[in-house]
Amino acid sequence: MSEPLVIIGNGMAAAKLVEELNARALGRYAVCVIGDEPRLAYNRVLLSSVLAREVSRGDIELKAAGWWRAHGVTLLYGHRAVSIDADIRRVKLANGATLPFGKLVLATGSKAIRLNVPGMDMPGVITFRDLADVASMEQAAKTHRRAAVIGGGLLGLEAAYGLAKAGMQVSVIHLMDRLMERQLDARASAMLKSAVEAKGIEVHLNAETAAIKGPHRAEKVLLKGGGEIAADLVVVAAGIRANSDLAATAGLTINRGIAVDDHMQSSKADIYAIGECAEHRGTCYGLVEPAYEQARVLAGHLAGQNAAYQGSVLATNLKVSGVNVYSAGDFIGAPGTENIVLSDPGLGSYKKLVLKDGKLAGAVLFGDTADGLWYSELIRLGTPVAAMRGDLIFGRALAERSLPKAESPKPLPPKDMAA
Amino acid sequence: MNAPAQHPPAVRTTCPYCGVGCGVLAKPDSHGGAVIAGDPEHPANFGRLCSKGSALGETLGPETRLLHPMVQSGGALVRTSWDHALDRVANGFARTAREHGPDSVAFYLSGQLLSEDYYVANKLMKGFIGTANVDTNSRLCMASSVAGHRRAFGADTVPGCYADLDRADLIVLVGSNAAWCHPVLYQRMMANKRERGAKLIVIDPRRTATAEEADLFLAVAPGMDTALFCGLLVHLSETQAFDFAYIDVHTTGFAEALTRAQDIAPDVKKTATLTGLATADVARFFEMFTSTPKVVTCYSQGVNQSAQGTDKVTSIINCHLATGRIGRAGMGPFSLTGQPNAMGGREVGGLANQLAAHMTFGHESVDRVGRFWNAKAMARREGLKAVDMFDAISRGEIKALWVMATNPAVSLPRAGHVRAALEKLDLLVISDNVAGNDTVRANAHVLLPAAAWGEKDGTVTNSERRISRQRAFLPLPGEAKPDWWIVTQVARRMGFAEAFAYQSAADVFREHAALSAFENHGTRAFDIGGLASLSDDEFDGLKPVQWPARTATPHEDSRFFAEGGFFTPDGKARMIAPEMPRPHAALSPEFPFRLNTGRIRDQWHTMTRTGLSPKLGGHLPEPFVEVHPDDAMQAGLVAGGFARVTSPYGSCVLKVIISEGQRCGSLFAPIHWSGETASSARIGELVTPATDPYSGQPEAKATPATIEPVAFKYRGFALSRGRLSLPEPTWWARAAVARGQGLLLASNDTPEAWRAISASMFAGTEIAEFVDAIGDIYRMAAFADGRLVGCLFVGPSGNAPQWDVVKSLFEAEAVGETQRRGMLSGKSTDGIADPGPVVCACFGVGLNTICNALADGTAANVESIGKALRAGTNCGSCLPELKKLVSQRSVDHVRAAQAV
């Protein structure tokens, strides 16, 4: 008899887990996936592309309905889990039903943080997390002209890009002195700002939202220290917080997210958490790649394999507003590191490598990111790079060619990421 | 059917470089240049050309040309009309000569001038202004040969011809790097060696490229050639190799010459000691010379450029006279001249110690020439030779100077002193075809745009007395005019219209030919009277012809003196007793080295022409000093590093080449670089002004000097479309590159400083940069409208950036994206696939890679793309794009299928 495995959350991490389980432990578990969004799991990364009408809604589905059926997964989408009884191993749904589990995986993701300023709950103020948000934004774009996005991180810029593409006049309001400050250094940020502005998006840096005003619905954003930005639609993308309310009902240890060990197990046996809701070694990740790594590790663990998650090298490898950006490791450059910089504004390209003790410690790439993965591997493996220091920044092909044959490092082992 | 394209026929002309005087076929192309080939019918080269001649087509561009007259006005040179410029020159010279006497004016001419240009300038000065202050850069080149010839033969007559080099059994090269400086003749010698087994002996303090093929190489001590040939004369005497019949009938002074030779070099051992050679080598040389009747001794700058140059020539000629080996096939002393028309200049009298047509300042000659010219103001005595002339300028005695087609501020000894002297002139006129050189920048008052090679029309004479036509094959650019025309116009404005009524170069040539025959009656070797009545058409069609040409159909390959017939009063050759040889200045602890100067293979003079050729610039792009390994070690010099060479007159900073071929205690540096082409390599600056007492030729190869290392922390290069200037005190050398120019540089400024410098150098362009602060590297490339317009690479000296790859991209101008991405690496991106714009960000998979996989069948759908390339298998964000590519691909397939 198959052991009942319940996965709460029907997002990208959950879909990856199911896929990995099927590859490793087919038939061992009777899998049930519960998701509160009323649709099949989709690729959240592409929401802005949907908004920008670059792809259709159907295109972003991760797996077709038939796939789930064919793999014997019970799919309960449009259902919200409301509590967990860890002792009796039951999950209670909003409709009153309870589901028993042998193993439980929380993949509840995260939710957008709403700012604690007046007017946040006014009509016309939304967050950007799911397809429903996309629908509201599309609706707003039809009837209104001006949008303000609060938050100049990845999500905010993606929302701004989508809204601009949908025909709105968009302003980005960012608290910090540069965009995507956690992923990019100052120069890459400045280039990104230019690229964003070239798309017709206004960028306000060092701008803190004081309030959202309007008699009936949002009409403008007031900034601290004066100044206001007219906006009929305000998208709040100022950060996320792990969805851990449900986990709390089970009495799990929760810090910034659901605390998990290297097997992705929470403070209680047989209850696991992966993706943005999980906190591993003090870190909550907000990107898809760590979520996938966690899903793979958990699948291995559940399949009885010796799998452990060591944390992810934080590599950002993204397309923002149509521009490829990449960063990894210590890309700012702590004291004691050395920088190598290559820039070509004509190609829209900027690269910075940070070296420490003859090894690559970090990298930021703007525009030309083709070698990002290679740099990530060099950082992860701690490969000595002194012999190719001069050519390293010109990419793998050139750098490795300039090495004497005997010194060429072995080809990097491909990371097992294939679906 | 298209009509066949009309190509203009190739024009037969002569190469403007060395004295070999090779025939050239020049075919103008449609871009203002020309396709150059050797003329198979020219008897100097039979179709061969050297590297310099072959690259002539690259040196014709208008970029550096002076295209209209300019005069100094308010401290700057401004454009003016020919009328105004010519008036200023004519009035200036007339007034100066009137107020300060004729000796207060001077002309400084050039072996680059055609005989016709030379003739009118010489005539104006010596016949009408009334001074013999006409000298030429040929003074620096072969004046000692002239003096040696005149002393021995009574005339400046080269006895043999090039065919002798084909027929000799032994060729002795003295002070001649013919392999680099007369390459086509050297190839003729090599052919003789190959085909007939002729032997080659090379005598040179330096083991040059010429020595590579030598059967015997003698690294003679600087300036001691005379001792060697005196030793040879003694040996010839002891082995009874003299031709007493010839000596008795055709020479005088034999006993004195031999006695002096015995004093100087009584035996092989003493000769070896004096010359710093191994006794066995000296003995072998003597034996080879003695036992080989058919011997030609060629000599060049190593003999001439010396304070004992005339004696060196004399001691060589003595050996040939004493053996009667002169003027017979395969025998004779043979001066190889440096310049294309040094010989022509000598023929018209373009030297301060000659009058005209090989006549000197004897009363009779002055009278004769005066009558022929109908000149009232004949100069009656010799004028000032080059070095003395510039000293007189420096003292303020000469107040007006006209420099034609040469660059004395670079090429004369103590070039810095010369430059300072030029600045004292009341009137400095320069006619040249370049808008800027070091002499122009020394306070020129009037610049006159002269026709360049390819535009000018007239005659030149090569080392074997062969007169060849230089013909125009390009139109005169801008307002440029031939030199003869310019001088003629000035002469007319000075009131000498009647004597300067020439309408063409042919008019001038006919008069020149007539003067050579005027009251000659066989008393003067130089007689081309047979050409005095050529029609214009015959002049245009004139084939290369050797003088003497007393009739219209002279001999091929004429020779002199086999049967005596010298141009002395008694018809006998003079055997002169040379002085004990010693370099003019002694070495000292302060200046312990002998500085030797000379040429390199692919450059000519001060590079105003060869410097335009990217091909030629590639050979040795940086000015250098060659040092023996032991000296280098002692002085702490490293190969590829830099050194300051200092003499009592100046100093240069040069790149160090360490070479076993360099003599211990001697340094060698090339003469070519100027203030225009390098920051600190004007070697003339260092050269002693000591001159030969007979020829006035400077001792350019034996200046006492010292050397010390100079360290630069950084080295690099810059490339630009236009002219770049680098801030002081950067060391730099300019090198021609296609579509722009290159600078090789060395500096102690940090890469960070160079970053700021290059930002201002290339202001207004889009700048790509590579910065490695800890590695001390800065590289940048400037783009305008997507095209590469310049770049600058700077790095630590120990790991200096190489420019080959970048230079070829720069020359190509349009740079592909993959090349551009890799460009600042300085390495070639050939063979590196262009992946195209990134589609899959997670795995860095590019558009081209995906399209290729779809095209070659590696992948057919999104899933197989993922399997093959991993694209789309992580975050999946690119899946929609992959889908599009796949469907696009199927559409293309269908279309292609339909099209078939």
Q: What is the pLDDT of residues B477-533, one digit of tens each?
A: 999 999 999 999 999 999 999 999 999 999 999 999 999 999 999 899 999 999 999
| Shortest Cα distance, chain A CAs vs residue B771, angstroms | 5
| Shortest Cα distance, chain A CAs vs residue B798, angstroms | 14
Q: Which of B420, B387, B415 shows the shortest CA–CA distance to B681?
A: B415
User: HSE-up of B893 (CA within 13 Å, CB side)?
Assistant: 12
Q: Per mean pLDDT, which range of B52-56, B290-294, B785-789, B828-832 is the poorest?
A: B828-832
pLDDT, residue B469, reads 96
Which residue type sits at B484?
W
Whole-angstrom Cα Rg for chain B: 31
Contact A180, A190 (CB under 8 A): no
Q: Per mean pLDDT, which range of A402-406, B72-76, B372-376 is the poorest?
A: A402-406
pLDDT value at A416 more than 50: no
Q: What percent of chain B has pLDDT over 70?
A: 98
Interval B287-308 mean pLDDT: 94
d(CA B301, CA B316): 14
Interval B662-676 mean pLDDT: 90
Q: Give the N- to C-terminal CA distance of chain B in Å, as an integer.
A: 31
Contact B866 A419 (CB under 8 A): yes
> Who among A289, A338, A402 is closest to B874 (CB)?
A289
pLDDT value at B1 more than 50: no
pLDDT value at A412 more than 70: no
B298, β-bridge pairs: B173, B334
All structural domains of chain B, each given as residue ranges with its CATH number in brackets, are 11-59 (2.20.25), 70-141+341-546 (3.40.50.740), 155-335 (3.40.228.10), 593-710 (2.40.40.20), 714-825 (no CATH), 847-899 (1.10.10)
Banded model confidence at residue A414, pLDDT cuts 50, 70, 90: very low
User: HSE-up of A110 (CA within 13 Å, CB side)?
Assistant: 27
Contact B875 A288 (CB under 8 A): yes
pLDDT, residue A73, reads 92
> Who among B766, B879, B880 is closest to A346 (CB)?
B766
From residue B885, give the alpha-carbon distance in Å to each of A419, B835, B844.
Answer: 20, 15, 16
Banded model confidence at residue B896, pLDDT cuts 50, 70, 90: low
Please list, residue by residue across B138-151, b when 16 or more beta carbons sit within 10 angstroms of its beta carbon and e when fewer do: bbbbbbbbbbbbbb
Query: Same topology for domains A3-111+240-302 and A125-236, yes or no?
Result: yes
Higher pLDDT, B338 or B517: B517
CB distance from B817 to chain A under 8 Å?
yes
pLDDT, residue B205, reads 93
Q: What is the mean pLDDT of chain B?
A: 90
Please tell me the CATH superfamily of domain A315-407, with its number. FAD/NAD-linked reductase, C-terminal dimerisation domain (3.30.390.30)
Q: Give A417's contacts in chain B (Cβ within 8 Å).
A: 842, 870, 873-874
The domains of chain A are located at 3-111+240-302, 125-236, 315-407
Chain B residue closest in CA terms to A371: B844
Interval A289-303 mean pLDDT: 94
- A223-280: per-residue pLDDT in tens? 998 999 999 999 999 989 999 999 999 999 999 999 999 999 999 999 999 999 999 9
What are the structure tokens assigned to A276, written together?
A: 């943005």
pLDDT, residue B672, reads 87
pLDDT, residue B270, reads 96
> Who among B777, B827, B835 is closest to A398 (CB)?
B827
Contact A46 B880 (CB under 8 A): yes
Q: Per mean pLDDT, which range of A374-388, B316-330, B801-815 is the poorest?
A: B801-815
Whole-angstrom Cα Rg for chain A: 23
Q: Give A326's contacts in chain B (Cβ within 8 Å).
A: 841
What phi, psi does B178 have (nearest 5°)?
A: -60, -30
d(CA B764, CA B770): 19
pLDDT, residue B674, reads 86
Residue B61, sorted as left (phi over 0), alpha (psi -120 to 50) or beta, turns out to be: beta
ipTM above 0.85, yes or no: no
Query: Which of A 61-100 lie inside 8 A of B, CB atoms?
Result: 62
- B174-228: per-residue pLDDT in tens? 999 999 889 999 999 999 999 999 999 999 999 988 998 999 999 999 989 999 9
Contact A369 B838 (CB under 8 A): yes
CB distance from B897 to chain A under 8 Å?
no
- A183-230: per-residue pLDDT in tens? 999 999 999 999 999 999 999 999 999 999 988 899 999 999 899 999
Higher pLDDT, B877 or A67: A67
Contact B768 A319 (CB under 8 A): no
> Who among A49, A341, A374 is closest to B880 (CB)?
A49
- pTM value? 0.83
Banded model confidence at residue B591, pLDDT cuts 50, 70, 90: very high
Q: Which of A156, A5, A394, A272 shows the shortest CA–CA distance to B805?
A: A394
Inter-chain contacts counted by CB atoms under 8 A, chains A and B: 127
d(CA A66, CA A69): 5
Chain A residue closest in CA terms to B822: A394
pLDDT value at A26 more than 80: no
d(CA B486, CA B508): 13
pLDDT, residue A398, reads 86
Contact B810, B776 (CB under 8 A): no
CB distance from A60 to chain B under 8 Å?
yes
The domain made up of A125-236 has a fold known as FAD/NAD(P)-binding domain (3.50.50)
Residues whose CB is less than 8 angstroms from the CB of residue B727 and which lie 6 or more positions away in sequence, other chains included: B749, B757
Interval A77-99 mean pLDDT: 93
pLDDT value at B2 more than 50: no
Q: What is the mean pLDDT of chain A?
A: 90
Banded model confidence at residue A356, pLDDT cuts 50, 70, 90: very high
pLDDT value at B842 more than 80: no
Residue A96, sorted as left (phi over 0), alpha (psi -120 to 50) or beta, turns out to be: left
d(CA B788, CA B695): 53
pLDDT, residue B85, reads 96
CA triplet B221, B235, B290: central angle to 5 degrees? 100
pLDDT, residue A408, reads 45
d(CA A211, CA B638): 72
pLDDT, residue B897, reads 62
* Domain at A3-111+240-302: CATH code: 3.50.50.60
Interval B163-167 mean pLDDT: 95
CB distance from B832 to chain A under 8 Å?
yes
Banded model confidence at residue B894, pLDDT cuts 50, 70, 90: low
From residue B792, give the alpha-carbon distance in Å to each of B720, B767, B807.
Answer: 9, 11, 11
B766, β-bridge pairs: B783
Q: Give B841's contacts in chain A (Cβ within 8 Å).
A: 317-319, 324, 326, 369, 372
Contact B876 A43 (CB under 8 A): yes
- B262-284: per-residue pLDDT in tens? 999 999 999 999 999 999 999 99
